[in-house]
Amino acid sequence: MPDVKTRIAPSPTGDPHVGTAYIALFNRCFAHQHGGSFLLRIEDTDQQRSTGKSEQDILNALSWLGLSWDEGPDVGGDSGPYRQSQRTAIYREHIQHLLDKELAFPCFCSSDRLTELRREQMVAKQTPGYDGHCLQLEPGERKRRMDSGEAHVIRMVVPREGDCRFDDMLRGEVSINWAQVDMQVLIKSDGLPTYHFANVVDDHLMGVTHVIRGEEWINSLPKHALLYEYFDWESPTFCHMPLLRNPDKSKLSKRKNPTSINYYQDMGYLPEALVNYLGMMGWSMPGGEEKFSLAEMEAAFDISRVSLGGPIFDIEKLDWLNGRYLREDLNDADFASRFVVWASKDDRLHKIIPLIKPRVERFSDVVGLASQFIDGVVPLTPAQFEHKALSQDQCLRILQFSLWRLESLSEWDRDAIETAMQTLAAQLDLKIRDFLFPLFVAISGKAVSTSIMDSLAILGLDVARARLRNALSVLGGVSKKLAKNLDKEYRVLGQAEQPD
């Protein structure tokens, strides 16, 4: 049996997600426990949504957690490049092999035809999927149309009958009817591969022996298994981990729980506590200890002990565990030095000084003024939102709209935040002073404080989001129904002035 090799394959399309760290942790434990290695591959085939910043943030966040990798875009290795955007020639060569064997075919169908097909299938209550139209074309015609440069994608041939059966390390045999499996696009019209194709080719070429990933990929496995068969490659062993859940059992989402690793770093959690907590998601130490280090987890690891019930990511439990680490593992000197490192993260102190300096008369004023930049969620009461020109409902509306607007920013800096807030105030037809009042209270806990734009810029979106959410709940919360109404209102805001 070849040496065990596992991988984490994040797509750099957003904030570093705790779910990525969770899957990375289990892959790393599995590999190390078998004396194998663990690699990191960047899956940036979605050119529209992938960014260099997101890639860097993911690498930084996993490094902060101590989940280092043996091969990857930053550390190199024998199977690189480890970024899919640099592997286009490899995919081209491999798709040609499938085309030559007629296991894949060009599809020239227009998006109009595909939309109409989907509509008809919906009406007829059939599983939506490609109907094989271009599979009927004669080889000569296929070649002529491809050579003439006609726009096309490349799809894989998929059997229409029978079942695809495969083994999952946690679930045993899984069976999916081929009729449920679409003739997946492998190469898009821009010549780039889809996730499914690039993922299988890379796992094989990089020597991955065990694919341990989130449960959301299990329905894709027939496509992957079929590609291994088409290439006549030995398939890796698959293991689909249960998804992390919110306390209400829904899939962990940032609407309900902070999901960005940056948030946990900004709020002052210790990386070793967060890794320990992620290790408790669906898994437990044989002796039932709740507090364990990464090394202890690796030494005792056994993947068959993963339980399939959706593990709940519960921040209160994480708080309890983090508190234990702070009290039990850090002596006073370590506590002091790690606190200072945390408080000065991203040069935060230097950013705060120019904001508070105009307001201080003594050094003893500093901590009071600086606290809002260092605190997590500031305590609030509904009375703090009383205002001569705004009702509490209006305050709630301003806060919710501001949160949505801030979440949509692609750049997080003072100017971008200021422009966004001024535009929103104008769209709501409010004086900027009145508009900013609930934001001041929500963010700083005071009606007057240092510049709100600077505060938001320094705090970052994750902490700002937590404070705005807290303010919304202090104002009575946003029920599903209210959210729907607010969403309707928000969508039409400023539409009149938008160019068409």
Q: Which two tokens stand for residue 31?
A: 């590999």
Question: Side chain identity at 272, as an amino acid letter?
Answer: E
Give the interface segment with ligand GLU, choosing from 4-12, 271-279, 300-308, 457-465 (CB under 6 A).
4-12
Q: How many CB atoms neighbour CB 36 within 10 A?
A: 18
Least distance in Å: CB of 29 to ligand GLU? Answer: 16
Give whole-number Cα distances, 94 to 105, 357, 372, 398, in Å: 13, 62, 55, 53
Residues numbered 180-199 forming contacts with ligand GLU, rule: CB under 6 A = 195, 199
Nearest to 227 by CA among 177, 167, 156: 156
Rank residues 44 and 266 by Cβ distance to ligand GLU and give the closer one.
44
CB 85 within 8 A of CB 76: no
Does 445 engage in binding with ligand GLU (CB under 6 A)?
no
Q: How many CB atoms neighbour CB 385 within 10 A?
A: 22
Nearest to 18 by CA among 225, 228, 256: 256
Does 213 engage in binding with ligand GLU (CB under 6 A)?
yes
Does 84 engage in binding with ligand GLU (CB under 6 A)?
no
Looking at residue 83, the DSSP 8-state letter turns out to be B
Peptide bond into 271 cis (omega under 30): no
Does 24 engage in binding with ligand GLU (CB under 6 A)?
no
# chain residues binding ligand GLU, by CB under 6 A: 8
Residue in 64, 217, 228, 339 binding ligand GLU, rule: CB under 6 A? 217
Polymer length in residues for the chain: 500
CB 466 within 8 A of CB 475: no
Least distance in Å: CB of 73 to ligand GLU? Answer: 14
Does 209 engage in binding with ligand GLU (CB under 6 A)?
no
Least distance in Å: CB of 2 to ligand GLU? Answer: 19
Does 200 engage in binding with ligand GLU (CB under 6 A)?
no
Rank residues 215 and 319 by Cβ distance to ligand GLU and give the closer one.
215
Rank residues 176 and 458 by Cβ distance to ligand GLU and give the closer one.
176
Nearest to 19 by CA among 28, 34, 8: 8
Rank residues 195 and 490 by Cβ distance to ligand GLU and give the closer one.
195
Rank residues 114 and 218 by Cβ distance to ligand GLU and give the closer one.
218
Distant-in-sequence, close-in-space partners of 422: CB < 8 Å, separation ≥ 6? 432
Catalytic residue among 254, 256, 291, 317: 254
Does 231 engage in binding with ligand GLU (CB under 6 A)?
no
Q: Which two tokens stand for residue 338?
A: 């790690």
Largest CA-CA distance found in the chain, in angstroms, rounded? 85
Residues numbered 282-321 forming contacts with ligand GLU, rule: CB under 6 A = none
Does 443 engage in binding with ligand GLU (CB under 6 A)?
no
Residue in 4, 9, 252, 270 binding ligand GLU, rule: CB under 6 A? 9
CA atoms of 319 and 276, how far apart (whole Å): 12
| Burial class of residue 198 in the structure, from the number of CB atoms within 10 Å of its CB (0-12 exposed, 13-18 middle, 19+ buried) | buried
Does 11 engage in binding with ligand GLU (CB under 6 A)?
yes
Does 10 engage in binding with ligand GLU (CB under 6 A)?
yes
Rank residues 213 and 467 by Cβ distance to ligand GLU and give the closer one.
213
Give the interface segment with ligand GLU, choosing from 8-16, 238-246, 254-262, 320-328 (CB under 6 A).
8-16
Least distance in Å: CB of 19 to ligand GLU? Answer: 8
- Beta strands 37-40 and 5-8, pairing class: parallel
Give the interface segment with ligand GLU, choosing from 7-15, 183-191, 274-282, 461-469 (CB under 6 A).
7-15
Does 397 engage in binding with ligand GLU (CB under 6 A)?
no
Sign for the pseudo-dihedral over CA of 367, 373, 374, 376: positive
Give catalytic status of residue 254 as yes or no.
yes
Rank residues 10 and 311 by Cβ distance to ligand GLU and give the closer one.
10
Residue 243 sits at the vertex; the CA angle it makes with 26 and 200, to the nearest 5 degrees, is 65
Rank residues 10 and 73 by Cβ distance to ligand GLU and give the closer one.
10
Outline where 375-431 has alpha helix (H).
392-407, 414-427
Residue in 15, 43, 44, 202 binding ligand GLU, rule: CB under 6 A? 43
Which residue numbers are catalytic?
Answer: 254
Q: Which residues bind ligand GLU (CB under 6 A)?
A: 9-11, 43, 195, 199, 213, 217
